[in-house]
Amino acid sequence: MRELKELKKVEKFADQCMKCGFCAYFCPVYQEEHVETGLARGKNYLTKLVLRGEQEFTKEMGEIIGKCLLCKRCVVNCPAKAQIDRVVVGARAQMVKDKGLPFIKNFAFRKVMSNRKAFGRYVKLASKFQWLFPKGEGNIRHLPDFMKALGQGRHIPAIAKVFLRDQVKEVNKPQTGEQPKMRVGYFMGCATDFIYPEIGLKLIDFLTKRGVEVVVPKEQNCCGAAIYFSGDMETGRMLAADNIKAFKDLDYILTACGTCSSTLKDYKVYLPDNEEQQKAYDEFAKKIKDVTEFVVDVLKLGPEDFKLKKEFEGKTATWHDPCHLVRYQNIKEQPRQILKSLKGLKYVEMPNADMCCGMGGSFSVYHYDLTKKIADKKMDGIKATGADIVVTACPGCMINLIDNVARSKMPQRVHHILELME
């Protein structure tokens, strides 16, 4: 009988499912398609068939296991707390072990995204072709019809003219001139580095003005979310080793991306293959903080420390909870506390603020029509607030919200929470 190492790791989580179907009410995919295999229960059942030797991994099953946002709405609302996210990722990992990666993912993950310099070169090359895409408002581009593989009609932000890594020093001393309160590492993340460098610059400026030394290691690599959530654990562990080495001897490691902070913390959850790795990932996770979590819970900044930029005075803002922030890390109140501290800004809570926007990383590339249907519910929530600004803390969510706000011809603007602060 063939070895099912990756599935054996998650067998205990598969056994948690009571088959009650309560997840149907919360699953964004099931709510649109009403197909049992779109549901956590259905995916779990198929995985258990493979574990029992009654089912082989097929192309069709790969598509079923792939059609999951990993938003964890099923997990947090499950009466048995069945960790179906672990089951789905384990099934993907077993498929990669058995069948290998598809050509495009193999090239993207192992030749491009795992090599930071190569990744930068490919993105720089892609930026040379931006003139082919119709220009929207601001720095938004509209993908033409021939870009069907990336989502026909999608609106995307333009690639930055200068990447963040080329704008920052490796060591950024406190602007106060005093001895640093602490030394923190800044994990840039791919989207902030290549698309939204202004967010990274804002983070460094904000913290150095408050006596924190910010170190930006040049050796840091991709967090690996798209890679190990697709089942490529081998490359995921390589990236983890790179990042642990790059960020040693620091008090904390910060990021302004909910997906990145979650992914770095969760190396310990998804990646360990032995006790040594488990110990290393556990120690690394203790230092990871989302920037909203850090300034509220560690620096303990008060309302007087948060100043609203003048361009946002008199505006109404609402908050979108990224899945990787609210459910993976239980970070919910900290960003709201910051927004409510900004004098001159009116805050309005969005209905179902924690509902997934439909991005899910590469999910929105392979299932763009489904992403749009899921995002329509988020757009309804935004409209209900009457807000001028949609605020979040995940560049991936920002990209999807910008796309769908533009597609829906809505007047709202989407911003990272750091962009609102003076």
Question: Phi and psi for 157 in degrees, rounded to 5?
Answer: -70, 150
Residue 142 Cα distances to 158, 404, 415, angstroms: 10, 12, 19
The residue among 251 and 122 whose pLDDT is bigger is 251
> What value does the mean pLDDT take over residues 227-242?
96
Q: What are the residues facing 289 on neighbouring strands?
A: 254
Q: Each residue of 115-148: pLDDT tens digit? A: 888 888 988 887 887 766 666 666 666 565 545 4
pLDDT score at 176: 86
> What value does the mean pLDDT take over residues 170-179?
93
Q: How far apart are CA 29 and CA 280, in angstroms?
A: 35
Q: How far apart are CA 297 and CA 211, in angstroms?
A: 16
> What value does the mean pLDDT take over residues 395-415?
94
pLDDT score at 304: 93
Domain ranges for the chain, please list them: 5-99, 303-420
The yes or no reply on domain 303-420 and CATH 3.40.50.1860 is yes
pLDDT score at 146: 45
pLDDT score at 342: 97
The residue among 422 and 240 whose pLDDT is bigger is 240
Q: How far apart are CA 267 and CA 282, in angstroms?
A: 8
The yes or no reply on domain 5-99 and CATH 1.20.140.10 is no
Average pLDDT of the chain is 92
pLDDT score at 138: 63
Q: For Cα atoms 280, 282, 284, give the angle at the middle one, nearest 5 degrees.
A: 70
Q: How far apart are CA 330 and CA 340, in angstroms?
A: 19
pLDDT score at 155: 83
Q: What are the residues facing 317 on neighbouring strands?
A: 347, 389
Model pTM score: 0.93
> What value does the mean pLDDT take over residues 144-170?
77
Q: Each residue of 300-329: pLDDT tens digit? A: 999 999 999 999 999 999 999 999 999 999
Q: Each residue of 29-56: pLDDT tens digit? A: 999 999 999 999 999 999 999 999 898 8
| CA 274 to chain CA mean position, Å | 26
3-state SS, the chain, equals CCCCHHHHHHHHHHCCCCCCCHHHHCCHHHHHHCCHHHCHHHHHHHHHHHHCCCCCCCHHHHHHHHCCCCCCHHHHHCCCCCCHHHHHHHHHHHHHHHHCCCHHHHHHHHHHHCCHHHHHHHHHHHHCCHHHCCECCCCEEECCHHHHHHCCCCEEECCCCCCHHHCCCCEECCCCCCCCCEEEEECCCHHHHHCCHHHHHHHHHHHHCCCEEEECCCCCCCCCHHHHCCCCHHHHHHHHHHHHHHCCCCCEEEECCHHHHHHHHCHHHHCCCCHHHHHHHHHHHCCEEEHHHHHHHHCCCCHHHCCECHHHCCCEEEECCCHHHHCCCCCCHHHHHHHHHCCCCEECCCCCCCCCCCCCCCHHHHCHHHHHHHHHHHHHHHHHHCCCEEEECCHHHHHHHHHHHHHCCCCCEEEEHHHHEC
> What value does the mean pLDDT take over residues 218-241?
96
Least confident segment among 1-15, 146-160, 204-218, 371-385? 146-160
The two beta strands, 389-392 and 212-215, are unpaired
pLDDT of 190 over the 90 cut: yes
| CA 398 to chain CA mean position, Å | 10
Which amino acid would we find at residue 15? D
Least confident segment among 142-156, 220-234, 268-282, 307-321? 142-156
As given in the structure block, the two tokens for residue 272 are 């360990």
Torsion of CA 263, 267, 271, 273, to 10 degrees: 170
Q: What are the residues facing 214 on neighbouring strands?
A: 172, 184
pLDDT score at 338: 97
